[in-house]
Amino acid sequence: METLIINKRRELPRAKRIIWDIATVLLWLGFIYLWKPVFHIFYRIITLNAPADELSDWIFGEIHSVTFEHALYMLVGTPIVLFILSRLNRHQAPSEHLLYTSNDYANYFNIDNTQLQQCSNSQLVTVYFDDQGHIISMDDHIS
């Protein structure tokens, strides 16, 4: 049996991974672009390239460079883009089709299947490990 921990991203087709990576980079670039006026203001303040009165006028002009209309477009557009991306036809990884039985888990962890089934129906289970971290036994606490 293969390991039970699965990296599903690696199971996606290469073209779909590239598309999602490009979409992620574009959304991050858009987010950083929205912060461009603030970064520019901080740069001008830190380097002191302008007198204080000119700098204050320039800061006021930069703060208002993002209009209410642009902010409204971003406020409405971002959730729409994220909703569309979440509804795209998703690739189901082969692991999503597999359902492991308790017998598979018992064989993988080298424990008794009846003990595993009994503990899976319990609300409180104590698991005992050896020095290497392998499961030795399990004890269910029935109230």
pTM: 0.34
Which pair of structure tokens corresponds to residue 53?
């009165």
Residue of 116, 142, 138 lying closest to 126 (CA atoms): 138
pLDDT at 1 over 50: no
Q: Which range is least confidently modeled, 26-40, 51-65, 111-125?
A: 51-65
User: Mean pLDDT, to the nearest integer, of 80-106?
Assistant: 72
pLDDT of residue 78: 81
Give the integer Cα–Cα distance in Å for 7 and 39: 37
pLDDT of residue 5: 43
Banded pLDDT at 50 (limits 50, 70, 90): low
Neighbours of 75 (CB within 10 A): 9
Q: What share of the chain is helix, strand, coil (3-state, %, to 5)?
A: 60, 10, 30
With residue 143 as reference, give the H or E element that holds it: none
pLDDT at 35 over 60: yes
Q: Which residues contact 141 (CB under 8 A, 6 or more apart)?
A: 122, 123, 124, 125, 126
Banded pLDDT at 4 (limits 50, 70, 90): very low
